[in-house]
Structure 1
Amino acid sequence: MPRTKEKDAGPDGILKRTLRIIEILAGHPGGMPFYELADAIRIPRSATHRLLASLVDEGYVRQDREFGSYVLTAKIASLGLRYLQAHGITDLMQPVLDRLARECGELVRVAILDEDRLIFVSKAQGATAGLRYDPEAGQEAKLSCSSSGLAWLSTMSDEDAIALVEKQGYGSKEEYGPNAPQTAQAIRRRLREARLLGYVVTQQTFSQWMNAVAAPIRSSLDGRVTGTISVAGPFIRLTEERMQQIGPLLLEATKELGQLSPPPRPPADKPGEPRPNIFA
């Protein structure tokens, strides 16, 4: 185990390592033992234990009683959702999602951009019987194999899209769906199809039992891509034909969501600053 660098021992270093622990645990919903976390962030186990103890005290992490692993609590997710609600994001978009969910009879989700990530922030469940896909908000989209990820990638150059996919990593067929793209060539082919249609149709790429259709959301003010909207459901119900029928409904919803953006924000030192762009 490498020794902790002296410059990392101060407050800035402690903060960075604490945030790194949160980021790692966010990708392991089942939790991780503290020694694996120590190895992942390359600091002594004693230091890792102290950081975890502080996170437990503040309610961000809990220790599993049966296995001893450390797991994130819902506090992080609740803070994120509280922020979004405070800016009116979920309230403004929800009627659009609810209507589309009723029309489609499936799960509808919206994801917004966060630097080079796509985060699901709101949903509406339209399925009333049978199989239902009902994930939690706050998840990050897998760009290579989710309909939302591919919809976003279709708005940029192939070069930029592949760079983002390779940075995040390809979703394996074992972990995701049997049709998950595994090469840059396969990604490019799907992006070409998406650009022609205006939306992405995926069949068993993200999950063995799930199909989905998604489209990018663009601001009506300047055309910026601000997020995506998707419809997902069991492949036995959400067939290719059905997804093509949903496509125009999805595109109409993207226009409505794109119009929710208020005027651009002026410099912060000017009075009368309007509400931030809800998809910024």
Structure 2
Amino acid sequence: MRVVNSLVERCFAVVELLATDAAAMRLGEVAERLDIQKSAAHRMLTVLCEIGWVEQDAATGFYKLTLRLAILGQRFLSATRLTDVCQPVLEELAAKSSDLVRMAVVQGETLTWITQIQGAHHGLKYQPELVATVRLVSTANGKAYLSSLEDKEALRIGLNTPDGKAYAGGVDALMKELRATRERGWAISVEEAESGVVAIAAPIALTEGHVVGTVSVAGPSSRLTSERYDSIASAVQSAARQLGELWPLRSQPGAPH
């Protein structure tokens, strides 16, 4: 039984790897990134191609995901009605802040972006890189999530990520930042994730305190200046509280559309 599980785990590992950057990869790179033999990687990719999850470019031989995963993901997200229920709150925050609002959900020990609303209608607009997984240590959303964990867990998860390993100051600096985040109730990233960008985020918690996601406002540092931090943080925290109250409604048949 363990052999079967191992094969399933490897197949999902291949899918997750190809989904990370949405880029085509050669067989050798897949094997190297997953630390498996080329023959094993080839078997996994062959199976995934046969069932329609992966396709191989005839000219280059590189492998990439088909749209099947994206279609199923959208279908699942629609079925949860999460974005429908949360949309009005996010739109209100975008209107108040006049900058980009994003929401992420906790998936295991990571955060995944699920929706965004552009609140800036004039002037410079922040358009983030299109990635699925939130960087945990260099982003406001990541810090907001990590601050909701016990110190030991936050360090284990945060420092085990690529941006965590390169975090300036290491353990002491990260702990200082997370403690400050807990005390404030919101996190901030000033040109840490991207040059010229400031973001402020807060954790979305259910009534019993369990954190299920994060919400943030991000914009150019020339507009989201230090004088605006407190007002933006207050709006973000208010939105986070509303989202926490609405969150359970996504699974209730009588929830508002």
How far apart are 1:205 and its partner, in Å?
A: 0.9
Matches within 5 A, 1:167-178: 167-171=160-164
| Equivalence for 1:145 | 138
Do 1:110 and 1:123's aligned partners in 2 also have CA atoms closer than 8 Å?
Answer: yes
Q: Is the aligned partner of 1:224 residue 2:218?
A: no
- Of the three residues 156, 159, 173, the one matched with 1:163 is 156
Structure 1 counterpart of 2:134, one-letter code? A
SS of equivalent to 1:205: coil
TM-score by length of structure 1 reads 0.79
Q: How many residues align?
A: 252
Q: Structure 2: how far apart are the matches of 1:141 and 1:234? A: 19
| Equivalence for 1:210 | 197
| Equivalence for 1:266 | none
SS of equivalent to 1:122: strand
SS of equivalent to 1:170: helix
| Equivalence for 1:190 | 177
Output one character per residue of 1:169-218: Cα deviation in whole Å (capped at 9) or x when no partner: 43577xxxxxx545111111211221222101110111112110000111
Q: Is the aligned partner of 1:18 residue 2:18?
A: no
Q: Is the aligned partner of 1:247 residue 2:233?
A: yes
Question: Quick one: structure 1 residues 162 and 171, their matched pair in 2 at CA, closer, same or farther if it must change by over 3 Å?
Answer: closer
Structure richer in helix, relative to its length: 2
SS of equivalent to 2:156: helix
Question: Quick one: structure 1 residues 105 and 74, their matched pair in 2 at CA, closer, same or farther if it must change by over 3 Å?
Answer: farther
SS of equivalent to 2:160: helix
TM-score by length of structure 2 reads 0.86
| Equivalence for 1:201 | 188
- Of the three residues 125, 131, 151, the one matched with 1:131 is 125
Structure 1 counterpart of 2:173, one-letter code? A
SS of equivalent to 2:22: coil
| Equivalence for 1:4 | none
Q: Structure 1: how far apart are the matches of 2:95 and 2:210? A: 28
- Of the three residues 27, 44, 50, the one matched with 1:51 is 44
Structure 1 counterpart of 2:197, one-letter code? M
Q: Is the aligned partner of 1:70 residue 2:63?
A: yes
Structure 1 counterpart of 2:113, one-letter code? F
SS of equivalent to 1:216: strand
Q: 5+ residue gaps in structure 1?
A: 1-6, 174-179, 264-273
Question: Quick one: structure 1 residues 147 and 39, their matched pair in 2 at CA, closer, same or farther if it must change by over 3 Å?
Answer: same
Q: 5+ residue gaps in structure 2?
A: none
Structure 2 counterpart of 1:211, one-letter code? V
Structure 1 counterpart of 2:117, one-letter code? A
How far apart are 1:133 and its partner, in Å?
A: 1.5
How far apart are 1:64 and its partner, in Å?
A: 4.6
Do 1:150 and 1:200's aligned partners in 2 also have CA atoms closer than 8 Å?
Answer: yes
| Equivalence for 2:20 | 27
Structure 1 counterpart of 2:193, one-letter code? F
Do 2:110 and 2:133's aligned partners in 1 also have CA atoms closer than 8 Å?
Answer: yes
Choose between structure 1 and 2 for higher RCO, CA contacts under 8 A separated by at least 6 residues. 2
